[in-house]
Chain A
C-alpha cells in the first residue's frame, strides 16, 4: 500500500465549478499535512497547510480527518489558472515529506 494515495485524475471541469480532491495516508503518527500545487515541468509550490480544525484560503478549503487518515481539498469557482497537478503531502517526521502521486486538474473555458 502506498504511504499517500491520491486519485490521479484527470479531473476535467468547466470554469466556475467546484471540485474536490481526496487523499489517504497510512502512517497514523504523521505530524503535519500539506497541499502543494505543481505546474507542468515546474517545482511544487505550497498551496496550504492542513489542520484538524480545517482551514480556508480564499476559494480553497482543506480538511483533515485524523481518525480516518484522510485529507481533502475543495476548490470553489474554478479558474483556468487552477489547472495544475495537486500533490497531497504528509510529514511523518521532523524532516521527511511523503508525496502522493498527484491529482491532475484541467479547468476548461
Chain B
C-alpha cells in the first residue's frame, strides 16, 4: 500500500508570496495532520483535520490555513510568506478513531525555502 504522499517535494518562494502544499493520506485513513519542522527542532503541530472538520490548531498565525477534501486529501495554505516560514512541512495521517492505535504516519515532506 502507498504511504502518505506530499507535493511538491521542494519549493522556493519569495517573501510576501502565497504557497499551497498538498497531502494524500494512507488509504483508509480519515485524519490528516500538518507539522512544521525548522532546522534543529522537532516538528511543531499546525493543524489536524478529521472528516473534513478542523479538530485542532497549533500556535500558528492566521496566515496558515488548511482544508480537507471529501477524498480525505488535504491542502495547507500559507499567505504573506516570511523568511521564518522556511521549513520542512510534514503531513501525517492516522487510522480511524475506532482503531486500536493513534499512531501517526508521516509523508516525505515539502521543503519550503522563502527568499
Listed in ascending order, the chain A residues whose CB lies under 8 Å from chain B are 4, 31-32, 34, 41-46, 49, 87, 89, 91, 93-102
Q: Which of B44, B55, B104 has the most CB of A within 10 A?
A: B104
A44-B90, A46-B103, A91-B102 known; A97+B108 contact, CB < 8 A:
no
B interface residues, how many (CB within 8 angstroms):
28
A93 to B48, CA, bound (A): 12
CB distance from B88 to the nearest CB of A (A): 8
Chain B residue contacts of A41, Cβ below 8 A: 88, 111
If over half of A's interface residues share one DSSP class (helix, strand or loop), that class is named, otherwise mixed; here it is: strand
CB distance from A44 to the nearest CB of B (A): 5
Which 10 pairs across A and B sit closest by C-beta, in order of nearness?
Answer: A99-B42, A43-B106, A95-B48, A95-B56, A95-B55, A96-B45, A101-B42, A99-B43, A43-B108, A44-B106
Indicate which residue in A44, A46, A89, A99 contacts B44 across the interface (CB closer than 8 Å).
A99
Residues in A with CB closer than 8 Å to B105 are 46
Q: At the interface, yes or no: B33 with Cβ under 8 Å from chain A?
A: yes
Which residues of the other chain, B, contact A96 by a CB distance below 8 angstroms? 33, 45, 48, 56, 58
**What are 27 contact pairs spanning A and B, CB under 8 A?**
A34-B103, A41-B88, A41-B111, A42-B108, A43-B107, A43-B109, A44-B43, A44-B106, A46-B103, A49-B101, A89-B42, A91-B102, A94-B55, A94-B102, A95-B31, A95-B33, A95-B48, A95-B55, A95-B56, A96-B58, A97-B33, A97-B45, A97-B92, A98-B45, A99-B44, A101-B40, A101-B41
Residues of chain B from 50 to 67 with CB closer than 8 A to chain A in the complex: 50, 55-56, 58
Report the separation of the CA atoms of residues A31 and B31 in the bound assembly, to the nearest whole angstrom. Answer: 18
Query: Is B14's CB within 8 Å of the partner chain A?
Result: no
Given A42-B108, A43-B90, A43-B109, A95-B50 contact (CB < 8 Å): yes
B17 at the interface (CB under 8 A from A): no
Contact indicator per residue, chain B 83-95, by CB within 8 Å of chain A (1) or not (0): 0000010101000
